[in-house]
């Protein structure tokens, strides 16, 4: 099975990259929206039903934490890990990289597989998730961004789900072309049957360990995703584009199965790998490459200056985790699209905390390995 890897090569002007990326930030519109935001008072309407739901969820998750530490068997821990990782794939490889960004094409069996995994994560149906995410990329850090970081860390993390959406989110979102999503019969099936699908996938599948593999695991998966909207815009460094708020964040790479290269992702939103250093704990990229090796992913997008390596074979794909632990320092060789940009709105990312960092990233694979297992051991530690 031939896999086409589309690339942009030998570009003299980086603006050409933007043309290939339909989700590149609309900077003129962002500037206009930011000016309007300063003139209008911000009105927040709390949705108390959602507040109570999240409160109950986290109380149940706390009981799950206790049972995980003191009572759960190793088989339960393994089942929790499985549900978190594969539910995460439903978000990262499915809702995010396939449907929101169209960064690769998948055949029907792969789309059905990812849709079923997406139900485990329970983060709205894929059409709604992709619409919100496209708004986030087109109008980052404005009132048209569903999880606008200018409204604070908590709002960007989970507060945006506890209040009514800003009218500008709906107004700007209506301008997006979602015809590709509505034309997909897999997504239409999910939307029509979403409630029974998520009950069966997210909770019934974990019913034998409801508080641990159900509520605690679900809560952990939610926060792993939410950290991309919050922590990956606040804490990290910017080797690709220093004028935007998204950063490279190691911890979200670990917990969200490969989504932590956020500065890269917002600079090159159509790259299916979402990171220049794709094989370092980027389990989602490994899944997509495995699908390509099996013939389920015929086309993958890599809109970069230089041609990427050829698609790995199935045998090569099985060795990616070993390669991800190689002890080598790396240096970025990519250039962000040249364009006029507004100053970085996030004060925490200036100076030592983000701007002005060198391009070199010497963190070794062994350190990533240690960070991964140290972080993973926190919720799964046992007495």
| Residue 74 pLDDT class (50, 70, 90 cuts) | very high
**Residue 322 above 80 pLDDT?**
no
Q: How far is CA 347 from CA 35, 234, 343, in A?
A: 18, 9, 10
pLDDT, tens digit, for every residue of 14-59?
Answer: 334 334 456 666 677 777 777 777 777 778 899 999 999 999 999 9
Of the listed ranges 73-77, 115-119, 250-254, 328-332, the one predicted with least confidence: 328-332
Of residues 339 and 101, the one with the higher pLDDT is 101
Q: Which pLDDT value is given to residue 207?
A: 72
* CA distance linking residue 297 with residue 308, whole number of Å: 16
| Range 353-382 average pLDDT | 36
Band of residue 214 on the pLDDT scale cut at 50, 70, 90: confident
pLDDT for res 319: 43
Q: Is the pLDDT of residue 359 over 70?
A: no
pLDDT band at 270 (very low <50, low <70, confident <90, very high): confident
**More confident site: 257 or 280:** 257
pLDDT at 21: 53
Query: What integer pLDDT is reported at residue 15 of this predicted model?
Result: 38
Query: What's the helix, strand, coil split of the chain in %, to 5?
Result: 55, 5, 40
The predicted-structure confidence for 120-145, as pLDDT tens digits, reads as follows: 999 999 999 999 999 999 888 888 89
Across the chain, mean pLDDT equals 75
DSSP H or E run through 300: strand 299-302
């Amino acid at each position: 099975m031939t896999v086409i890897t589309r690339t942009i090569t030998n570009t003299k002007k980086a603006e050409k990259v933007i043309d290939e990326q339909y989700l590149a930030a609309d900077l003129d519109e962002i500037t206009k929206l930011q000016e309007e935001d300063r003139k209008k008072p911000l009105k927040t309407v709390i949705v108390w039903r959602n507040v109570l739901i999240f409160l109950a969820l986290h109380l149940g998750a706390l009981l799950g934490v206790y049972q995980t530490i003191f009572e759960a068997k190793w088989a339960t821990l393994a089942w929790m890990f499985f549900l978190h990782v594969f539910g995460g794939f439903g978000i990262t490889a499915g809702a995010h990289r396939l449907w929101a960004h169209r960064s690769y094409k998948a055949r029907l069996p792969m789309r059905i597989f990812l849709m079923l995994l997406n139900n485990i994560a329970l983060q709205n149906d894929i059409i709604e998730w992709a619409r919100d995410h496209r708004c986030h990329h087109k109008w980052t850090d404005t009132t048209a961004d569903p999880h606008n970081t200018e409204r604070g860390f908590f709002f960007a993390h989970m507060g945006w789900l506890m209040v009514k959406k800003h009218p500008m989110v709906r107004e700007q979102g209506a301008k997006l072309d979602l015809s590709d999503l509505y034309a997909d019969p897999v997504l239409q099936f999910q939307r029509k049957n979403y409630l029974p699908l998520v009950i069966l996938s997210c909770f019934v599948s974990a019913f034998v360990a409801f508080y641990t593999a159900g509520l605690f695991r679900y809560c952990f998966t939610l926060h792993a995703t939410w950290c991309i909207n919050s922590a990956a815009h606040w804490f990290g460094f910017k080797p690709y584009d220093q004028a935007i708020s998204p950063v490279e964040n190691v911890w979200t790479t670990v917990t969200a199965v490969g989504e932590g290269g956020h500065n890269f992702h917002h600079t090159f939103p159509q790259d299916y790998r979402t990171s220049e250093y794709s094989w370092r704990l980027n389990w989602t990229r490994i899944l997509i490459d495995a699908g390509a090796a099996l013939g389920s992913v015929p086309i993958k997008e890599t809109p970069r200056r230089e041609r990427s390596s050829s698609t790995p074979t199935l045998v090569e794909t099985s060795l990616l985790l070993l390669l991800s632990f190689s002890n080598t320092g790396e240096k970025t060789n990519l250039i962000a699209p040249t364009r006029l940009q507004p100053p970085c709105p996030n004060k925490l990312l200036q100076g030592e905390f983000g701007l002005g960092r060198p391009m070199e990233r010497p963190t070794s694979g062994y350190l990533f390995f240690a960070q991964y297992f140290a972080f993973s051991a926190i919720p799964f530690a046992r007495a």
